[in-house]
Structure 1
Amino acid sequence: MRLVAAALVLAVGAIGWVAAPPPDATVAWAPAGSAPVHPGVQLLNVGAQCTAGFVVVDSGHIFLEEAAHCLSIGTPRGAEGDGCTAESLPLGTPVDIAGAAHRGTLAYSAWIAMRLAREADPDLCAFNDLALVALDPRDYPLVNPSVPVWGGPVGLAPQGIRSGEAVFGYGSSELGLGLGVLAPRQGQSIGDAGHGWSHDVVTAPPGTLGDSGSPFLDPQGAALGPLASIEVSPVPGSNGIGDLARELAYVRAHSRLRRAQLATGTEPFTGHR
């Protein structure tokens, strides 16, 4: 059983990686050590706190990943939901981004895209949980795509991850009480779900409410995907991680963001040390 919403409601080898093409030359990243906007910052929308995933670029525009279920309507954030039928806040919904001087806006939601496409594949309906928040161009100089602590991503993991391999994540749930020591997490994959659309992982500490969308890297530092769910079986406390390669392919096929691609980090991956 999976709890889809991990939002906090407030009162190349066998696995390999594919290097993402460089973003447009107009994008100049802020230094990683001082950039206030990066993977893992908090996002706030309509009473729900979630966590930003990897940075995505398209034609000179910059986006932060968010879990689509964080913007759901009528589906309890903490209960199972079907992304093909669940209602979502509309595109253009403002999103508060920690560290940014201006609000971002919802530019893409897999839940909206699947409903419009009348998607019927049960694996996609259950696990395609990606949203993209467009940053205000005035905030572009504040952004760095590197994952704090771990560095990377070095590219995109196109083939998922094998059971037993290491994973590295970074979350920003308010349940962490601002303790930075709880933000980085490390663990291993324990298998797939949805024919590869989701990857189950166990980490210390585990992802919890408010960590939805947080970025996870594979053993080589490639972007595996965003945290999407808290699992209660078969391994209580494990998390479901979306498959970013598949989710971005869906973005390109079902939205105007035809060139959406992962922005690679400026900092080297250090998780393998």
Structure 2
Amino acid sequence: MRVSTRPALLVSLLIAAALGWGAASAAAAATWAPVKSATIHPGVQLFTKDAQCTANFIYTDGSTVYIGQAAHCSGTGGNNESDGCVAPSLPLGTQVTVTGAKHPGTLVYNSWLTMQQLKEKNPDVCKYNDLALVRLDPADVASVNPTVPIWGGPMGIDTTGTKPGEAVYSYGNSQLGLGTGAISQKQGTSDGDEGNGWSHVVTTSPPGVPGLGILSTLEVAPRTASNGVGDLSRELDYMRQHSAFALVQLVNGTEPFSSSGR
């Protein structure tokens, strides 16, 4: 059985680094806060109304800085809502509390809302296209560093999918599991792709969300630590083609990725 990761059910986790970095371009680093003192970075907690999610990565279009979360984090339907083409969501313009920021961010892109506006019919896209952007207040940009905790990176976006047995490296920052919300290091493997490449199945212990995408499903049984993960490369391409955010790019970390950690 799979259950959707609506924020009322669990807090999203972030997996950093995985597979074939550098296959797609990412925005060059500008002037960012030092990695050790930055208060806004991948993995901070975001609060959209009553929902709590973990940020995935930092993005920019060259003039504005955004922090990413799953589109389902602003969903207003039931816990089992997983079809973004019909699931209800809070509107664009909704304020989002960003841990480490002095000012609220603003929800400016949500793939669910975009797909509904376009009347998207592709079932794989509807199920796995799960990305949202939160615009950071300009006053908070000086507190941002795009580096992923523990592992470093990102250093690009994988565009070729995952192969069974391929290594993934992760960290979690969630109240799922032990309930402490502390960042913990994890490693795991890929179980391959699904949804015609729109999703990747990865297994870690405890479960988490990989840096190649956004958590869309959590395997409850029989693979107790398996996640269905939306493909970030495809999610970004969809956003660029169907919204005003055609220039938005993932921002590389200021520290390189290392499979042994930083």
Q: Normalized against structure 1, the TM-score is what?
A: 0.86
Say which SS state the counterpart of residue 145 (structure 2) adopts. Answer: coil
Asked if the contact 2:108/2:134 (under 8 Å) is kept, the reply is yes
Say which SS state the counterpart of residue 113 (structure 1) adopts. Answer: helix
> Which letter does structure 2 place at the counterpart of 1:130?
L
Q: Give % identity.
A: 48
Q: Give the aligned partner of residue 101 of structure 1.
A: 102
Q: Give the aligned partner of residue 151 of structure 1.
A: 152
Distance 1:55 1:105, change over 3 A: same
Q: CA shift at 1:174, angstroms?
A: 2.7
Root-mean-square deviation (CA, aligned residues, Å) is 2.1
Count of residue pairs brought into register by the alignment: 252
Q: Does 1:263 align with 2:248?
A: no
Q: Give the aligned partner of residue 7 of structure 2.
A: 7
Distance 1:16 1:97, change over 3 A: closer
Matches of 1:47 and 1:72 in 2, distance apart?
A: 10
Q: Does 1:22 align with 2:27?
A: yes
> Which letter does structure 2 place at the counterpart of 1:17?
G
> Which letter does structure 2 place at the counterpart of 1:36?
T
Q: Residues 1-273 of structure 1: matches in 2 within 5 Å?
A: 1-8=1-8, 15=20, 17-23=22-28, 27-73=30-76, 75-77=77-79, 79-175=80-176, 176-178=178-180, 180=182, 183-207=184-208, 216-217=210-211, 224-233=212-221, 235-271=223-259
> Which letter does structure 2 place at the counterpart of 1:76?
G
Asked if the contact 1:16/1:159 (under 8 Å) is kept, the reply is no
Distance 1:193 1:37, change over 3 A: same
Say which SS state the counterpart of residue 173 (structure 2) adopts. Answer: coil
Matches of 1:106 and 1:153 in 2, distance apart?
A: 23
Matches of 1:55 and 1:160 in 2, distance apart?
A: 21
Distance 1:145 1:225, change over 3 A: same
Matches of 2:181 and 2:7 in 1, distance apart?
A: 18
Q: CA shift at 1:98, angstroms?
A: 0.7
Q: Give the aligned partner of residue 210 of structure 1.
A: none
Matches of 2:2 and 2:234 in 1, distance apart?
A: 20
Distance 1:234 1:125, change over 3 A: farther
> Which letter does structure 2 place at the counterpart of 1:191?
G
Q: CA shift at 1:60, angstroms?
A: 1.5
Asked if the contact 1:9/1:49 (under 8 Å) is kept, the reply is no
Q: Normalized against structure 2, the TM-score is what?
A: 0.89
Distance 1:183 1:228, change over 3 A: farther
Asked if the contact 1:65/1:131 (under 8 Å) is kept, the reply is yes
C-alpha offsets along residues 15-55 of structure 1, whole Å, 9 cap, x if unaligned? Answer: 563253434x8x42111111111001111111111100011
Matches of 1:6 and 1:237 in 2, distance apart?
A: 17
